[in-house]
Amino acid sequence: MITLIDLFGVAVFAISGALVAGRKQMDLFGVIVLAIVTGIGGGTLRDLLLGSIPVFWVHDPVYILVAGGAAILTVVSAPFLSHRQNLLLVADAIGLAFFCVLGAAKALEAGTGPLIAMLMGVMTGVVGGLIRDLLAGEVPLVLRRDLYATAAVAGAGLFALLMTLGISPTIAVWVGMLTALALRLAAIRWHWGLPVFRI
C-alpha cells in the first residue's frame, strides 16, 4: 500500500517534469531526465543528507521505470493531458502530501529531531520540482508561488510534532497528510499565497 502511493507520487511528479520539458522543447532524452529527476530528486537529496546510502532507488529500479514510463506516457498523451490540468494539480497535491510525511518519517527513523525531520519532509516534497525548474532555466516555482511548500511545512511539521509527542503513528501520518493536502487544495482553489519580500 505504502509502496503504491509512493510510486503514484513519483509518477505524478515525473509527469510534471515531462510537461516542463515539453514546454521547453527538449528532446526525448531531456524529457525522460526531467521526469526522473523531478520524481526522485527530493528523496535522493534526503537520503544523501541522512547518510542512507546508496539512495533508495539504487537497488530498486522500479522507481526509475515508473518515472521513465510516466514520461513516455506524457509525451504520447500530451494533447489529452492539457485538458486535465486540474486533475494533475490534485494528483500532484496528493503526491506532495504523501512525500512530505514519508520524508519526515524517514528522518525520524534515522534519529533526527522534529525540526530536521520537518525540513527533510519538505525537501522530499519540493526538491524534485526545484531541480526540474533549475534544469529548465527558470527560478524555481516553489520559491515564488502560492502555498506549495507551506503545505508541506505544515504537513511534515505536524506529523513530526505528533510523533515526538508520542501520538500513534497511524494518526500522525493521517493528520500530517490530510493537513498538507487540504492546505494545498485550498491554496489552488482560492489562490492563497505567502506575502512577498521586496527590497
User: Which residues contact a copy of itself (rule: CB under 8 A)?
Assistant: 18-19, 21-31, 33-34, 44, 48-51, 53-55, 57-59, 61, 64-65, 75, 78, 82, 110-113, 115-116, 119, 130, 134-140, 142-145, 149-150, 153, 193-199
Instruction: Tell me the C-alpha distance between 182 and 188, whole Å.
Output: 10
Nearer to a copy of itself, 8 or 56 (CB): 56
Question: Which of residues 54 and 166 has its CB atom nearest to a copy of itself in the complex?
Answer: 54
In angstroms, what is the minimal distance from the CB of 170 to a copy of itself? Answer: 26
The rounded distance, in Å, linking the Cα atoms of 187 and 190 is 5
Shortest spacing between CB 163 and a copy of itself, in angstroms: 16
- Report the C-alpha gap between 180 and 152 in whole angstroms: 6
Q: How far is the CB of 156 from a copy of itself (least distance, A)?
A: 13
What minimum distance in Å lies between the beta carbon of 79 and a copy of itself?
8
29 or 170: CB nearest a copy of itself: 29
Query: What is the separation of C-alpha 190 from the centre of its chain, rounded to a whole number of angstroms?
Result: 21
Exposed / middle / buried, residue 55 (Cβ in 10 Å: 0-12, 13-18, 19+): middle
Cell numbers for 181, please give them: 493536502
Closer residue to a copy of itself, CB minimum distance, 87 or 171: 87
Q: Is 48 left (phi over 0), alpha (psi -120 to 50) or beta?
A: alpha
CB of 30 to a copy of itself, least distance (A): 3
Cβ proximity to a copy of itself, 177 vs 187, nearer residue:
187
Burial letters 74-110, b for 16+ CB under 10 A, else e: bbeeeeebeeeeeeeebbbbbbbbbbbbbbbbbbbeb
